[in-house]
Amino acid sequence: MNFNIASISGDGIGPEIVREAKKVLDVVAKKYNHTFNYTEVLMGGCSIDAHGEPLTKEALETAKASDAVLLGAVGGTVGVDKWYDLAPNLRPEAGLLAIRKGLGLFANLRPSFLYDELKSACPLKESVADAGFDMMIVRELTGGLYFGDRKTETVDGVVTATDTLKYDENEIRRIAIKGFEIAMKRRKKITSVDKANVLDTSRLWNKVIAEVAKDYPEVVVENMLVDNCAMQLVKNPAQFDVILTENMFGDILSDEASMVTGSIGMLSSASLGATKLGLYEPSHGAAPDIAGQDIANPIATILSAAMMLRYSFDLDKEADAVEAAIKQVLKEDYRTVDIMTEGMKQVKCSEMGDLICERIA
């Protein structure tokens, strides 16, 4: 089959990790007789440098016209990079928010599981790591604090900044349905994460979740406060199947969930909407501190490419082959520096990509 992929390398380590993901996709194409056509699209800091804005209208149109978007990462070092002083809607990250919103990608899936081979890289104590875990974070992606009105103004001589947290019931319902559909294909448990002891948006969230739950009687639903969830993730991650939550909570909890897998370099993500078009990116950022050194871990991006095969292209066999190749490479003790432990064989980003390519059956 023939698929058109908008490819966004972005900033920092973005070009290095996207290169490896494409290498893997090209091997898949050859082995399974598909054609992947890539259109390069600028987004983030590189787009600001070239066009003065983080995502041009043309770039968004290219993404819209494709079958899927593969993304590395955008942004620099917050606080010190050359884009920091720009208005919020002109910074690199604004490009990411604009493409998520522009493509209607309201559901962000972030799977977090512990490979047997990486148990020694897990920062949790042995008894917790030994129990293993396998969860899917389903994060609302186009609402909440990220997209509410914001401003900085001087009120009575005092500089005052405001961000707005807003959700309507329809936004909550559609992500809830996505979460329940995913839970039905897994272990049928949802932990809905909120701050209902303080926030109105969380109370509405819980009400809508309870309504949607009636259509999925097989799914066990529990509500958990976000601060408790942060604690439970390091205390007993095995308890979670699907974590369903709003945008900001999901951003924070998914970083935590990734770190307990051993490295944030292992966590992939898929952003989906109402159609087959999805955006696939690692959950981590652009890591400018290690850019250009060929030491980044490309696995999260390659796993994201596997999610693209599965969710946007319905190529399950091919996605399985990529995931199996990653597992095999880990089994053979190859590690990038972020997941390196004693006795393992340390490899560079590009070597990791090659090793995975060679093991695609």
* Residue ranges that bind Mg ion, judged by CB under 5 A: 251
CB count within 10 Å of CB 268 equals 25
Whether 251 is a known active-site residue: answer yes
Q: Residue 93 binds what, of Mg ion, ligand IPM, none (CB under 5 to 8 Å, by partner type)?
A: ligand IPM
CB count within 10 Å of CB 257 equals 28
Smallest separation, CB 312 to ligand IPM (Å)? 18
Q: Which of 93, 241, 294, 318 binds ligand IPM (CB under 6 A)?
A: 93
Q: Coil, helix or strand for 34? A: coil
Which of these is catalytic: 195, 320, 327, 348?
A: 195
Q: Is 143 in the site for ligand IPM (CB under 6 A)?
A: no
Q: Is 96 in the site for ligand IPM (CB under 6 A)?
A: yes
Non-local (6+) Cβ contacts of 249 within 8 A are: 139, 193, 194, 195, 226, 229
Whether 11 is a known active-site residue: answer no
Q: How far apart are CA 309 and CA 31, in angstroms?
A: 14
For tokens 């942004």, the residue is 75
Nearer to Mg ion, 62 or 258 (CB): 258
Whether 255 is a known active-site residue: answer yes
Whether 331 is a known active-site residue: answer no
Q: Residue 194 binds what, of ligand IPM, Mg ion, none (CB under 5 to 8 Å, by partner type)?
A: none
Q: Is 140 in the site for ligand IPM (CB under 6 A)?
A: no
Q: Is 16 in the site for ligand IPM (CB under 6 A)?
A: no
Nearer to Mg ion, 257 or 305 (CB): 257
Q: How far apart are CA 349 and CA 329, in angstroms?
A: 13
Q: Residue 12 binds what, of Mg ion, ligand IPM, none (CB under 5 to 8 Å, by partner type)?
A: none
Q: How far apart are CA 281 and CA 21, in angstroms?
A: 10
Given a contact cutoff of 8 angstroms between Cβ atoms, the answer to whether 290 and 13 are in contact is: yes
Smallest separation, CB 145 to ligand IPM (Å)? 10
Q: Which residue is nearest to ligand IPM (CB)?
A: 93
Which of these is catalytic: 67, 251, 294, 338?
A: 251
Nearer to ligand IPM, 110 or 335 (CB): 110
Q: How far apart are CA 84 and CA 80, in angstroms?
A: 7
Q: Is 75 in the site for ligand IPM (CB under 6 A)?
A: yes
Smallest separation, CB 96 to ligand IPM (Å)? 5
Pick out residues in 244-263 that bind ligand IPM (CB under 6 A).
251
Which of these is catalytic: 67, 81, 115, 146?
A: 146
Smallest separation, CB 98 to ligand IPM (Å)? 11
Smallest separation, CB 295 to ligand IPM (Å)? 21
**b/e 131-142 (16+ beta carbons within 10 angstroms → b):** eebebbbbbbbb
For 111, list phi and psi in degrees, rounded to 5.
-80, 135
State which amino acid sits at residue 192: S
Nearer to Mg ion, 251 or 318 (CB): 251
> What are the DSSP E strand ranges found in the chain?
2-10, 35-40, 68-73, 107-113, 134-140, 150-155, 158-163, 189-194, 220-225, 242-245, 270-272, 278-280, 334-335, 345-346
Q: How many residues in the shown chain lie near ligand IPM by CB under 6 A? A: 6
Structure tokens at 80: 């010190």
**CA distances in angstroms from 202 to 141, 150, 198, listed in the order given:** 16, 20, 8
**Catalytic positions, written as ranges:** 146, 195, 227, 251, 255
Instruction: Enumerate binding residues for ligand IPM (CB under 6 A).
Output: 75, 93, 96, 251, 283, 285
